[in-house]
Chain A
Amino acid sequence: MARVVVDVMLKSEILDPQGEAVLGALPRLGVTDVASVRIGKRVEIEFDENAQNVEEQSRVIADQLLANPVIESFTVSVERDPVEAA
């Protein structure tokens, strides 16, 4: 069984209001040495046991559904079943 993790982040030059808000809240916790906070999302996809082209399919999913490629970038990483991998 293949598990795929897709990480979606706003491209670096795009403003992240959510990250800025967290950054702005940090001094209230006494944390004053943070330069930047960027918030994205992590999506975990589990394919059926005999699924083929898992990485390719995940890229399609990420590109067309999970991420907005105009302002976001994504990475796809495939985690093979530990037993199979061994």
Chain B
Amino acid sequence: MSQYVAVDTVGVAEATPDEKQPWAELGLKEDEYQRIREILGRRPTQSELAMYSIMWSEHCSYKSSRVHLRQFNEKNPRTPRLLAGIGENAGVVAIDDNIAVTFKVESHNHPSYVEPKQGAATGVGGIIRDIIAMGARPIAVMDSLRFGAIDHPDTARVLPGVVDGIGHYGNCVGLPNIGGETYFDPCYQGNPLVNALSVGVLPRSRLQSMQASGTGNIVILLGAKTGRDGIGGVSVLASATFSESGEDDARPSVQVGDPFTEKLLIEVCLELFDAGLVVGVQDLGGAGLTCALSETAAAGDGGMHVDLELVPLRAKGMEPHDILASESQERMLLIVDPAKAEEVLARAHRWGLLATAIGTVTDSGRLVVDFHGQTVVDVPPKSLADEGPVYNRPIAEPNDLGLIAVDRAETLPRPTTAEEIRQTVLDMAASPNLCDKSWITEQYDSSVFGNTVLGTPHDAGVVRLDERTGVGIAISLDGNGRFARLDPYLGAQLALAEAYRNVAVTGATPIAVSDCLNFGSPEDPHVMWQFERAVTGIADGCQKLGIPVTGGNVSFYNQTGREAIHPTPVIGVLGVIDDVARRIPLGLGRTGDTIALLGTTHEELSGSEWASVKHGHLGGVPPKVDLDHEMKLADLLSRLAETEQLAAAHDLSQGGLAQALVEAISFSGMGAQILLPEGADPFTYLFSESSGRVLVVIPRGQELAVRTACESRGLPITPLGVADANTDGLHLRDHFDITRDEIDAAFKGRIGARLGE
């Protein structure tokens, strides 16, 4: 037992106040370290130092973002639908009197760069556990991905790995992947973005809390054994021990997940919740036991006592700080009434899962952790979870803002002849960001459970919640780093407006938002300026739209050297649809149906895909956002879905009208005869990326009704032509024809071909 002699206990810490500690190596600033000493009235033990360094890190404490994220709470519209909001594991919104849904998007960017497959897989696993922790059954996943240039050699390593990881975890755990987005831009070369979303459904009565309340209640660790996964920075505390024991030299901060264990976790947790056996629950994510113990204790009303040697371990010789910092996957922490503890352990065992009582809730107000009878942690839990440092970091508007704004894409040379425009349509359809993404999405199961109503490539994923009533939800996940680079406030609102519109296009009514904010280093005042502007844009936008931000996460330090990624707020919008049988799909309806455009096309090319693909250009001012218009549009679309007066609808975004037509034709197998409005400049009309526009297909006989519905709301509608099964591809009258084969040859099979597969 000699290995326990060296353990740094509270007693040792009191006796050796001057011992030098590696706080700087653990990422703590000197004043932060001094504050820890003040809080404790002594130097921290190794385990305490590890816990503070983790909980006070940017990732866990939101120390740079917190002052700005307050805006969400201040501006969030009040809605009786919101059952749990920011600060919980995931936001929960009511669907009706009985059921609620919970959803959240979270980043797993850095791990996915280091080890793409496992990084992305554990990203999916982590977000699923957030959903379980709210008392919900996970029912679907989605992902928003950004990579470097598609022809960069490292993209061929990162992208297939990430896609493999998402597919592996989601498919094995048995959740449909119902959509998302994939973009390429050199700014993400060393910092790919992997943002994973999960959504779950629960009876409102099953909503769970993370509170460790009730003195005497038992703390149970459920799920996988604890190993040396992702110990990362904390390993500096153990460097001597490691070299002595002759372990592998590298201690990678990579975790490997096991989706089959996760599936068991889902089933066990739901069974325990239904049987009313659980007082509080928290998933173990980024900061492992450290985070789960301190957050549940801080949210509860007392303290907690844990005997750390009871934690089942996978590796030999783990020290207390290793156990506390381990990021081993597929674990949950349960707070259980002592009278019910036996039953909880028995039920977990029946599912083949480890469950171990490791501690009790106390009224001491302290989180005390013992290791073989020696106290290694004795801290006020709130000082870890809630009272971390808060920084009001310097903010400075970037110097190049004025220059960027005047460098407008509207002044770039454009194709003028019919043949040049025709070729531009095809070149755009073949470009990495606009081309068909089936190579990726075909690797995901999109229909397990049999409730997926719309998946990729529809604008939003639609899932049925209840077979009897047909009630369902629609979710879309959108971001546009290029727009946000030009103007973070507008860029964030454009992403919000697009996700909102994508949900509305299916006929659903948007009700809630989750966001994943991907930025560079918060220590760069220009990045902080981008962050502040983007958060303000989202908060203002949600206030205007009347839908609350329910949660999400912030990912800073997406930066290599001085080069930060484009500011990339990714917005998830969730909507509700009363009967999924009436959802509006992507497509072209039937022969003779009218194709029309809702909204107005302005000459807005700055930040567009055309400027990027044809000129490698990023400058100017992004398209205008009109949220009043978006609300009218959403109201119209849900009304027309209800009355079944639309055969199809498709949001116009990157690539403009040309791309929307390419997608509708390619997906539907129909042709389209289009006549642009008199006087319209064909190039602008086809490639402008003005927001607030939707391509709709109106069944024969409904044209007047739809036009009247638009006019009564003051929404511009422009008839563009008709759908026709006998037209081969796209016939743009007075300009050009593109056959279906030409469209498919340009649009399809690009991703695999570019990756050399």
A interface residues (Cβ-Cβ under 8 A, vs B): 10-17, 20-21, 24, 68, 70-71, 73
Contacts and interface: CB of A to CB of B under 8 A. Distances in A.
B328 A70 contact: no
A71 B227 contact: no
B258 A13 contact: no
B228 A13 contact: yes
A61 B228 CA distance: 28
A20 B315 contact: no
Contact of B248 (A11, A15, A24): A11
A17 B261 contact: yes
B256 A14 contact: yes
Contact of A17 (B254, B260, B315): B260
6 contacts: A10-B256, A13-B229, A14-B229, A21-B260, A71-B118, A71-B252
Given A10-B256, A20-B258, A70-B115, A15 B329 contact: yes
Contacts of A71: 115, 118, 252, 254, 256
Contacts of A13: 227-229, 247-248, 251-252, 315
Contacts of A24: 352
- Classify the interface of chain A: helix, strand, loop or mixed: loop
Contacts of A11: 248, 250, 252
Contacts of A20: 258
B255 interface: yes
A14 B252 CA distance: 9
A56 to B, nearest CB: 21
A15 B80 CA distance: 44
B613 interface: no
Contacts of B251: 13
**How big is chain B's contact interface, by range?**
20 to 34
A17 B264 CA distance: 14
Nearest to B328: A15
A12 B229 contact: no
B254 A70 contact: yes
Contacts of B256: 10, 14-17, 71
A68 B115 CA distance: 9
A15 B227 contact: yes
B114 interface: yes
Contacts of A73: 248
B323 to A, nearest CB: 13
B224 A15 contact: yes
Contacts of A14: 227, 229, 252, 254, 256
Interface in B248-304: 248, 250-252, 254-258, 260-261
B314 interface: yes
B637 to A, nearest CB: 45
Nearest to B256: A15
B443 to A, nearest CB: 19
A8 to B, nearest CB: 14
Contacts of B250: 11
Nearest to A16: B256
Given A14-B256, A70-B115, 16 more contacts: A11-B250, A12-B247, A12-B315, A13-B247, A13-B251, A13-B315, A14-B227, A14-B252, A15-B227, A16-B256, A17-B256, A20-B258, A70-B114, A70-B254, A71-B115, A71-B254
